Structure 1
């Protein structure tokens, strides 16, 4: 049995010494006892367990993301950080922050009990879905085909009057008119519905379909990626909305590069999560450091970082647009973000996700709650032994 140093309160265990529910494929040692106290869990962040790397590979990126995120507010021409223009960006930040913190805390605290373990990962899945909607809001207001482009159409040889400028742009404003109805009506609702489906599916893999859980959890998030990325696909298939001689066009050209890298890191992370490499090739060798879930975390964060850079290029392009009229002005082609259309959407989504998590948590309590006392009797908390 693999143990912590003699002075530590609890030993580390082999996969044969913990409930099957706790074990991971090809990870043989380094397991924490599934009745840790909160203090034990927090201290385990500084001990070599098979969850230590999982915690740090999503906790440290919080600060890296924050460093690159706040740069936007110092750009020349940017409004104040609490201006409506930045509402979508703040919602994107909330989504990423919750994802990284929930993931790191889930890996740190999941040894408190079998029920807590289930709840931790239900919350983890919920924040991933919330992140996809946060991304969708940022895409909608900064990469939408009409985002940041003021109406300059002519009427009898002159600029349209304010009444005409304030009206929504016609379908002909789209290079691909068929996308008009989707972007204007269904894009954000679709992102929310798909996010809820993803939470339901991922939570269910902890109670059913467990044999294929890693494949299901990976593939189920392909759909929100496809829906959320529709504005980016549109931009890649059409010409830039900015004049080729403008500074906005120059700033926006890097968008495609960041998106391709974003996709690459997502693909690599999916490969790690499904294949369970490298521990599949040498079970027991990568129990503490270097196993697939740590690489999965690193790749997913790199994809988020490239996504942030992509969004920032579009924010910069909008800010550099000489015809831009920032919200709450009504002359922008795309209606400006409001509290209801950004924070309100996220609040309703989060409320729904919390309800789903509460339901699955209750089910988990019914399933695993009766096992807690029996588990404590079989493995007394003061079980200490030095070899």
Structure 2
């Protein structure tokens, strides 16, 4: 009982002492909290945060989660690493929405132009100008949704299945739409008109009026967004603790492997969609290789700084394996301009990825002037920018593939 009373009295005196703390002492505590979350230098870091000895300062070290999340808006040596890929994530999110909502309209426009070219070859040399007069939006490319509506109103059978499409239907609707332009055909005799209609049907029938599947393209977009978001999160959160650093770095490497693997899906699928054996062969190979890379990256030893070159070489080799399907595509479609155009994009994409990996592995330019590129311009930031540029290039490659296969099919 005496002990309890004594403890209560001491607690009361401690409380009274705290009340007597001067404003100067309270200011000292606030200053200590600020100092506690100051940036530190490389030599003061724990071993798990020491990755690049050429970046000498501006490190965050084992901060609380709240301070780490708020640090996304402050300046340190990871700020641009976070934002370069976070902005890239929102870029690809926007591209995904655009692809889902606007690309079908764009492909309708190209389909209409292709039909016009086929009709010219079939015996209507002025069909493009006639379609422009019948469909005013054809001359206004940005207004694709209006063009699509007018197309459906004027040529309703174009968007039906091939079983219901006939040259008679199309020519009849063109005749109704442009009676004064096609009325002269009746003066040339029924035999010529019948021959022209048959020619139109034989020209238009092979065209694939239904767009091909988009899942390989969306798989690539999903892989790109996962890679960019995982990378941003890793660079933001890794300084919290050794355990969280280990987890986030695994996500980072998994994201890189996912981006590389899914980048193969559009070119492989759309190049070999008419050759199921090679399509399945290439897709299976790159999927297994991507999973193997992710599993290997889960090993703790994989993160050690001395394995930097091995990490870069592994991902570079994974990307280099795409040479085989590209060469195969060129052999099969050497007469198709789309094959050459997509290959040019793919070479540019590979060059951007390869240069980025080389800069990352060799730590250029900070190795030449240590400490001068701590905030901006060091190798990891340049690597991030080149990754986004390469992925964006590959997005345009995918659009070419979609246009090619939508118009020509197999």
Shorter-normalised TM-score: what interval?
A: 0.5 to 0.7
Report the equivalent of 1:96: 224
Q: Among 376, 380, 386, which residue is 1:289 paired with?
A: 376
Kept in 1, the 8 Å contact 2:302–2:311? The answer is no
Does residue 265 of structure 2 align to residue 265 of structure 1? no
Please give the alpha-carbon distance, in whole angstroms, between the structure 1 residues aligned to 2:253 and 2:107.
38
Shift of 1:270: 1.5
Which residue is equivalent to 1:75?
Answer: 106
- Of the candidates 267, 279, 289, which is equivalent to residue 139 of structure 1? 267
User: Matches of residues 191-270 of structure 1 in structure 2 within 5 Å?
Assistant: 191-204=286-299, 206-207=300-301, 210-240=304-334, 242=336, 249=337, 253-270=340-357
Q: Is the contact between residue 135 and residue 228 of structure 1 (CA under 8 Å) also seen in structure 2?
A: no
The answer (yes or no) to whether the contact 2:107–2:403 under 8 Å persists in 1 is no
Larger radius of gyration: 2
Greater shift in the superposed pair: 51-60 or 223-232 = 223-232
Partner SS for 2:54 = coil
- For structure 2, the 5+ residue unaligned runs are 1-30, 112-158, 160-210
User: TM-score, normalising length from structure 1?
Assistant: 0.64
Residue number in structure 2 paired with 1:130: 258
**Structure 1 match to 2:406:** 319
Is there any run of 5+ residues in structure 1 with no aligned partner, and where?
150-168, 170-179, 243-248, 325-332, 334-387
TM-superposed CA distance for 1:25, in Å, is 2.4
Aligned to 2:71: 44
Question: What TM-score comes out, normalization by structure 2 length?
Answer: 0.61
Give the superposition deviation at 1:109: 1.0
| In 2: Cα distance, 1:208 partner to 1:220 partner | 11
Distance 1:236 1:283 in 2: 45
Q: Going by fraction, where is helix more abundant, 1 or 2?
A: 2
Aligned pair in 2 of structure 1 residues 240, 5: CA closer, same or farther (>3 Å)?
farther
1:231-255 CA distance string (max 9 Å, x none):
322223454464xxxxxx4x55421
Q: Secondary structure at the match of 1:21?
A: helix
Question: C-alpha separation between the residues in 2 aligned to 1:229 and 1:100?
Answer: 24
Q: Does 1:308 align with 2:402?
A: no
**Residue of structure 2 in register with 1:33 after alignment:** 61
Considering Cα pairs closer than 8 Å and 6+ residues apart, tell me whether 1 or 2 has the greater RCO: 1
What is the Cα deviation at residue 298 of structure 1? 0.7
Report SS of the residue matched to 1:50: coil
**Distance across 2 between alignment mates of 1:61 and 1:191:** 24
Contact 1:202 1:216 in 2 (8 A): no
Equivalent residue number for residue 119 of structure 1: 247
Q: Deviations over 1:141-181 (max 9, x none)?
A: 2222xx3x6xxxxxxxxxxxxxxxxxxx6xxxxxxxxxx85
CA distance in 2: counterparts of 1:27 and 1:5, whole angstroms: 26
Q: Distance in 2 between matches of 1:255 and 1:52?
A: 35
Q: Residue 362 of structure 2: which of 265, 275, 299 is its match?
A: 275
Q: Secondary structure at the match of 1:193?
A: helix
**Aligned with 2:250: secondary structure?**
helix
Shift of 1:271: 1.6
Q: Does the CA-based 8 Å contact 2:54-2:367 persist in structure 1?
A: yes
SS in 2 for 1:290: coil
What is the alpha-carbon distance in structure 2 between the residues aligned to residue 283 and residue 96 of structure 1? 32
2:269–2:279 contact (8 Å) kept in structure 1? no
Aligned-residue offset at 1:140: 2.6
CA-based RMSD? 2.8
User: When the two structures are aligned, how many residues end up with a matched partner?
Assistant: 275
SS class of match (2:290): helix
Quote the Cα distance in structure 2 between the aligned partners of 1:119 and 1:64: 26
Please report how far the alpha carbon of residue 76 of structure 1 lies from its aligned counterpart in structure 2 after TM superposition: 3.0
Residue pair 2:230, 2:255 contacting (<8 A) in 1 also: yes
Report how far residue 318 of structure 1 moved: 1.1
1-side partners of 2:271 and 2:253: how far apart?
Answer: 26
Q: 1:314 to 1:66 in 2, by over 3 A?
A: same
The 5-angstrom pairing of residues 148-227 of structure 1 reads 183-204=278-299, 206-207=300-301, 210-227=304-321
